[in-house]
Structure formats: structure tokens, C-alpha cells
Amino acid sequence: MRGRTDSVVVVGAGLAGLSAALHLRGAGHEVTVVERLPHPGGLAGRLDVAGHRIDTGPTVLTMPELVDEALAAVGDRLADRLELLPLHPAYRACFADGSALDVHTSAEQMEEAVREFAGGREAAGYRELRAWLTRLYEVERERFIGANFDSPLDLLGLDLAALVRLGGFGSLDRAVGRFLRDPRLRRVFTFQALYAGVAPRGALAAYAVIAYMDTVAGVWFPRGGMRAVPQAMADAAADAGVRFAHGCEATSLEVRGDRVRAVVTDRERFACDAVVLAGGPAQTTRLLHRRPRRPVPLRWSPSAVVVHLSGPRVDGYAHHTISFGDAWDRTFDEIIDRGELMTDPSLLLTTPTATDPGLAPADRHLHYLLAPCPNLDAGPLDWDRLGEGYADRLVGELVHRKLIASADDVTRLSLTTPDDWARAGQAAGTPFSAAHTFAQTGPFRPRNLPFRDGNVVLAGSGTTPGVGIPPVLISGRLAAARLHRRP
């Protein structure tokens, strides 16, 4: 970036903004973080209800070394800020036929679990799949996930050739099918495509790296809840000299020529040499008064209904349980193509008190139930009317699948629908931002430099490299790298 970048205002104290702030401060910039909420976290939000410490955003933490990398930029350490608990199993997968599989990150444990679940041929296929996932991640890690793009030509090189040889530009479903024949196992290693906003049969095989992060690198949980991650990052940033202005909503950018000179909030004006916008696509569009120029409009990922429940403290829950419906391809057709609710839903049930009992009263479990659903562009449903009934229907599904004993056993603590995501400023009412279609991947995703000239950089799930905690943390580092001054 040309010109001075000594003083930077970061708009948004989510994981992307906090990552950017730490990397910028470590490089010697004066940094101010402006956040409309009274606490850090952004979409990694928090809610306290009747003694339950609820995480309202992401619940799956992978690649915690990226948090450590951001903290290390200011001379801090993850081990000094957070207690991370490894999850064993990473997931429990439950299927419509009544079978279940604990998904382990240990190669030996998982191979044995697959052998008992589906036989020796599938166990051998799992070994080969694990090796392929690992190689795929090694090829993509620096060049495709951890790099800024200015042109599709930036992809050219030996890593691109290696990715082509690995089949990274083919179908995810077919790629995993080369190793595993059992359709239940194939779901375990392809459902992650939904994180990227596409059906497994339409997702690039390159996105199998998400399965690598989940099933090979491991899943973790911070003691105190997911909120502990952004809080630790914010505390380290503040200790390093980053200024935080909470309860300040950015209302406009003060522009002179082609440069932003200040961020104006509803409380204060913050002068700056450069700006990092890390509040998401909707806020970026509002502040810049423009959408990214593209041949076709952005396609948004599916949304989600999230129900937080309090239930009796009984044994037997895994931290994360994925309950697959019998339908699969039809489910994706419904929520992505037809804008309809799932008729045979696949659900994520997270029970953080299985790992950290202190998140709820002594006799209660805290449950987080997530059901994918259409975004408001694909299915403009009236969630203010539908939400309560749909939440009851989802709880009934948990009872039917024997994941809870009775609807009378649980109390609903909160409900979040696409209308709520939209009211919080999320484009199309989805917290998962732009889908990772081929035309919205890598150099074709909205760039983190919205203008050829100027001093504005973007961070977050709507830009490079994409959706999920690891990509969002990387996006903050990439945004900070853009602000290294050049003549």
C-alpha cells in the first residue's frame, strides 16, 4: 500500500479484526479497534441466561496454532492466555439406520473404529484418505489458503500443478468416494462442504482441507467457552498497546481524495492513515457505498437456525454430535437450490458442558442445536412467524432420534434465525458469508483490497481466504500484510 500506514483503525473486534490488530501492532503500527458491541468476538458472540454461559457463534475450534501465531506477533503465547482441551472424539456421527461412529483424530484409533464400523476394506481406504487429506493440506496451506491474491495468475506455479495432480479441482464427493464406498463414511468426510456453502457433489475437492482440519489436525475447546478465544486475543492486544473503543458503531468513513482520513462512529471520530474493515460484507458495503464489481452477483451460503437448550445433566453426550438424516442430496437441494426447509434434517448438537461443566448450573447441560436452512435470498421465509414452531420441531426431532429423552426435559434459552442474523448486519441473513463456489474461491473471491489505490483493506469471511475460524484468522494476517508500506 502506498503512503503512510502508521496509524490504523480496525472496524470490528471479531476474530478477523483481532488477528489484524495483533499482527499490525506487532509490526509497529498504532492500532485502534472500533467495535459496536460491549465486548470482543463479533460473530463469536456471548449470551448469559440463567447461569448458562452461551456461545452464540462458532462452536468448532480447529488449528489453534493460528491463534498462537497472532498472539506471537506481540510477543504473547497461547499457553499463557487459554487452556485448550482436546476433544476425544472430535465428533460423534449418528446415522438414520441407528448406527453411530466416534470420529477420532488419532490415525490408529480411527482406523480401528472404521474397521469395526464398516470392515477392513473401508479401514484401508481411510488410511489412504488420511494420507491424501494431509498432502492436500500441505499443498494448499501457504499458496492457496495463506496468501494474498492480486490476479488469477498468482495461482500459477508448482503448487497449482500439485493440486491438479491431487484432483483438487474435481468434485469433493467423487474424490472422497475414491477411498470410501460406505455412504455413511463418505458423509463424515464431506459434510464439511456445508461450511463452505456448497453441496458435497458440487464442492471442489480442494475443500477437503476442512475435513483435514476436523478429522486429522484435531478439534479443541477452550475452557470458559468459545468466547475465551476472542477475549484472550483482545487482552493480549490491549496489553501490547492496542486501543479498544467498545460500544462505538462505525457510521461513515471520512474521505479526502482516494484515502480515508478518519472513521466516524456514533460516539467519536478516529483519525487514521489506513483502515481495516472487518465487520462483514454488509457493513463494508454500507461504509464504502458500493458492492464489489463482479460479472455476476455474489452467491451467499446457506444460513442456520440455532437453538440453545438447557437439559438435565446426564452422562453419555459427546461434545459434538452430528445427526445425519436419511436424505442427503435432497437436503442440499432443499436449502440451497429450492430455498426450502429440510424435510429430513441433518443436525449438529453441541454439548459444551460435556467438556466444561462450569458453563451451566451443576444439574444442567447446555446444548447448542444448529440446523442449516436457506438464506434470505434463496428462501425469503418469515422467520418471525415460523421460528418458534420450527424450533419446537427441531427439539422433537432430537427426541425422535433419542438424542434427548423428552421435550419436557429441556428448556429453550434462546433462538436465532436468519432474520436475527440479518438484523445483526449479516448479508442475506447468513453468518457464513459468500459461498465457496469456483467463481468465489481463491483469486475469484472478493479481494481484500477493494480499490486499486487507497488505504482500505478488508478482513473476515467475505474475503480471502474464506469462511471458518482458521480462514478468518488468516484473513486478519493477510490484511495486516497489505498495510506494509511501499514507496
The 10s digit of each residue's pLDDT in 391-437 is 999 999 999 999 999 999 999 999 999 999 999 889 999 999 999 88
Task: Report the pLDDT averaged over residues 442-461.
Answer: 88
Percent of the chain with pLDDT over 70: 95
Q: Phi/psi of residue 312, each to 5°?
A: -65, 145
The DSSP bridge pattern shows strands 7-11 and 220-222 to be unpaired
Give me the sign of the Cα torsion angle 386, 387, 388, 389. Answer: positive
Q: Which CATH code fits 7-85+224-297+434-484?
A: 3.50.50.60
pLDDT in the model for residue 487:
40
Q: CA–CA separation, 236 vs 72, rounded Å?
A: 10
What does DSSP say about strands 347-350 and 364-373: parallel, antiparallel, or unpaired? Answer: antiparallel
Better-predicted residue by pLDDT, 349 or 160: 349
**Bridge partners of 310?**
366, 411
190-196 mean pLDDT: 85
Q: State the Cα–Cα distance between residues 392 and 398, nearest whole angstrom.
A: 10
Q: Where are the beta strands (DSSP E) in 104-159?
A: none
Query: Based on the number of CB atoms within 10 Å of its own CB, is 365 exposed (0-12), middle (13-18) or buried (19 or more)?
Result: buried
Q: Looking at per-residue confidence, does 464 or 104 come out higher?
A: 104
Q: What's the rounded mean pLDDT across residues 246-264?
A: 95
The grid coordinates listed for 280 are 462483514
Predicted confidence band at 273 (pLDDT cuts at 50, 70, 90)? Answer: very high
Q: Is the pLDDT of residue 350 over 60?
A: yes
First to last CA, the chain: 8
pLDDT digits (tens, 9 = 90+) for 74-133: 999 999 999 999 999 999 999 999 999 999 999 999 999 999 999 999 999 999 999 999
**Cα(369)–Cα(180) distance, integer angstroms:** 29
Q: What are phi and psi of 391, to 5 degrees?
A: -60, -45
Sorting pLDDT into bands at 50, 70 and 90, what band is 156?
A: low
Query: Which cell numbers in the block locate residue 45?
Result: 458472540
CB 258 within 8 A of CB 454: yes
pLDDT reported for residue 439:
82
Q: Which of 58, 104, 161, 82 is nearest to 471 (CA)?
A: 58
Task: Report pTM.
Answer: 0.94
Which of 142-156, 161-175, 301-315 shows the lowest per-residue confidence on average (mean pLDDT)?
Answer: 142-156
Angle at 209 between CA 130 and CA 430, to 5 degrees: 140
CA neighbours closer than 13 Å in the CB half-sphere of residue 247: 2
Q: Which helix (H) or strand (E) holds 367?
A: strand 364-373
Neighbouring CB atoms inside 10 A of 380's CB total 13
pLDDT tens digits, 12-51: 999 999 999 999 999 999 999 999 999 999 999 999 999 9
Cell of 354: 460435556
Extents of the domains making up the chain: 7-85+224-297+434-484, 122-217, 300-429
Per-residue pLDDT at 16: 98
Q: Is the pLDDT of residue 179 over 70?
A: yes
